[in-house]
Every structure is written in C-alpha cells, then in structure tokens.
Amino acid sequence: MTFWGVVGAFGTRRAYLKKDMDTSNAGYIGSMIGAATGPVGLIALWLKTPETRKSLLVVPPIAAFALLAISFAFADPSNSCVTNGSFVASQISNGIILGILYGFMALGLTLIYSILGVVSFAHGDFYMIGGMAAYYVTMVWFPGVNPLFGIGFACVSTFILGAVFERIFLTPMYDGRIDRPVEYGILVTFGLAFTLQYFIAATVGSNPVKAKRYFDFPRLHWPSKEDPWLLKTRRGGLELFDTITISNPRFTAAVVCIIVLLMLLYFLHRTWTGKALRAVSLDREAAAITGINPNRMNMLAFALGGMLAALAGALLVQAFSWLPQVGAIPAMRSFVIIVLGGLGSLPGAFVGGIIVGLVESAGTGCIPDPQKAASYIPAYGGIVLLLTLLLRPTGLFGRRFSGGSHGKFG
C-alpha cells in the first residue's frame, strides 16, 4: 500500500506532465489512488488522466483510509478497536472532544499566520501561560474565586502580552527594514518562547501544578433514575448511552471552546474590526486603501491568536498537570493542524484539529502495545505534517501555495 502510494505520487505527476495538464494536485491524487487501489487504479488514472475534480480529491483518501482500517481489522481481529463497539464509540467521542480543543488552539496560530504571515513558535508558551495564570488566580491568589475570573485573567494578560510583544518586536517586519520577514518572525517568536518558558520555570519552579475542577456537574439521570441509558452524570464526568464517558474538565473545555468559537465567528463576520481583519488577510494592500490600518490589525491578530491559545490552556489546566514545558507538545500539534488544514485557513484549522484528535485517539486506543503507542504520538503528527507538505502543501482548505510570496509586506 505504501509502495503503490509512493509510485502513485511520482508517476502521476509524470503522467499529467506528459499530457500537459495541471499537476498541482497530481501527486496527491496519485498517491491516494495508489494507496487505495494499488496498480489497477493507478494504470487507469494514468491512461485517463481525468481533470482535477472535487470528487477525485475527496474519495481516494477516504478509500485509502477505509482500506487501512479494514486491513488493520483483519490483521488483528482480537483488538478491542475491532471487537468492542462501545470502546470505539468512546474513543471517537474522546477524539472529537480533544479535536475541538486542538482545533481551537490551532485557530489562534492560523489567525496569526493569515494576517502576519508568521508561524508563531511561541504559541505553545501562550498556552502554558494561560494555564499558569488561571491556576494562580483560582488556586493561589484568590482561592475559591469563580473560575471565570481565572479564565478572564488568563485571556487579558496574554492579550496584553501578545500586543506588547507585537509592538516591540514584530513592527520592523512591516516596513521592509528586514530582508526576510518570515524567518525573522520565526526566530523572534522562538526567542519569546524560550524566554517565557524559562521565566515561568524560574519564577514558578518546575513542580507540576493543577487547578481544581472548575465546576461540578449536577447529578442527572435521564430518562429515568433506574435506567439512565441516555445520560448519567457524576460530579466529575458524564456518561452517554451507557458507553461513552467524558470527563468533566474536557467536556467543560470543549463547550466553552465552542461558545468562544461562535463568538469569534460573530466577531469576524459581523463587526467592523472583524471584517477588517478578514480583509487584511485576503489582501493587505487593498485593505489598506479602504482605510484599514493593517499594522493595527497585525497587533490585534497576534494578541488575539495568543489569547486563544491561552484560553485553551486556562481551560485545560483543570484536566492536566501543568509544567513550564507543557506547551511543547500542543505547539507541535498546532503546527501539524494548521498545515493539514491549510496555512491561514480558519475552518481548516478546526477541521484539521478534529482529524488530528481522531487520529491520535485511534492511535492510542488501537495500537496493541500501549507504551509504544503513547511514545509514537508525536510521530503520527510528524507524519501527517510531512505527507501534507509533500503531497498537498496548500492543505485541506489552503489558498496560498507554499512557494508564493506570503509574508511579504508592501
């Protein structure tokens, strides 16, 4: 399967070139058809070389994925992913919940990219700071305070941090004083990440901290107390259909994320500032002509992006224990997601997040050796990242090509 995928990736480009057709998606289609159908589909593809259509972009990867799943089922029939339906259901729901959180965090990163053309390497550290801020407010400084204050404090502080950082360190990028703005952006956010991480390590120390559960579920049994097959809640979690259990912190986090996401969508599509932001992301110069100050938008985007990461952190500090280094893995995951979704694409980030969430939960749940599965998680992301960049650098929803002049400021 891998072999035919590779053959497809290279051969198809050649076949399309020979017929003088658009090759931008040929490698991607070829590898997916090769992986799904082997030589049969490939030869047909090479002979017919159909025009790139939506269906060609969507169907083969699904088929390839299905084939992978089926072959997995046959190879390991006793695996609980194959035999145990409820296990699968709870893995899927877990994957979706995690995916929402992942997507939410990646949203901030892709927002920054779409406006500034910079991949922020400090994103994971905004996430970490958000969690730390929420922990300190709710547990250390004002124990017993409403957790909303903690979350609010996390958002406000990171928003200010992002805005100040942007004003001081990113402004030289905009007026052509810097020859390679993309690389400058990467390096300077890298420096910020370094500084923040060790600053927290130096002030807080490196013992793990964890916030208390923000709020308890009321006890619910539905449809009846005796037979709550539809919904049953405990203080720390809930159970759907007797099979799917979701822990309270994750559930709360996902719900808040969805609410904030809706607010964000409203902001982007219904308010002047939001529309201005989108305008700048589409065409900087044209937006500037219409009276939008693009540099102001840069600041807003960077601060907002950092804040979204911090919000994710503030929501998850009640679920995971928090360390200064906690941001590294989510940061890497966000990179994977935004590349998968297409750099700069907001819906892409969210869909990408859910896909990555599902893949990770499938990976942890289904691979026989749990220890290996856990340590291979970063590799799944890496593989998704590499494959996307090689086969379809624009990602699922991307609009700019990787060789393009993104990050150029007029």
Piece in contact with another protein (CB under 8 A), picked from 112-120, 136-144, 271-279, 355-363: 112-120
The one among 10, 87, 174, 190 contacting another protein by CB under 8 A: 190
Q: Confirm if 30 and 45 have CB atoms less than 8 A apart.
A: yes
Question: Applying CB under 8 A, does 106 fall inside the site for another protein?
Answer: no
Of 362, 361, 347, 329, which is closest to residue 399 (Cα–Cα)? 347
Q: What angle do CA 267, 272, 278 make, to 5 degrees?
A: 70
Is 315:111 a contact under the CB 8 Å cutoff?
Answer: no
Min CB(379)–another protein separation in Å: 4
Q: Count the helices and strands in the chain (H runs, E runs).
A: 16, 4
The yes or no reply on residue 377 touching another protein (CB under 8 A) is yes
Q: Is 6 in the site for another protein (CB under 8 A)?
A: no
Backbone angles phi, psi at 244, to 5 degrees: -95, 120
In terms of CB distance, is 232 or 284 closer to another protein?
A: 284
* Of the candidate residues 40, 69, 201, 262, the single one contacting another protein (CB under 8 A): 201
Query: From CA 405, how far away is CA 410, in angstroms rounded?
Result: 11
> d(Cα 6, Cα 49) in Å, to the nearest integer?
18
Residue choice 54, 179, 207, 290 for contact with another protein (CB under 8 A): 179
Q: Does position 102 bind another protein by CB under 8 A?
A: no
Residue 180 touches another protein, criterion: CB under 8 A? yes
Q: How far is residue 378's CA from residue 384's CA, in Å, rounded to a whole number?
A: 10
Cα end-to-end distance, the chain, whole Å? 46
Among 39, 50, 85, 191, binds another protein (CB under 8 A): 191
Nearer to another protein, 26 or 257 (CB): 26
Q: Which residues bind to another protein, rule: CB under 8 A?
A: 17, 20, 22, 113, 117-119, 168-169, 172, 178-180, 182-184, 186-188, 190-199, 201-202, 328, 332, 335-336, 339, 343, 371-372, 375-379, 381-383, 385-386, 389-390, 393, 402-403, 406-407
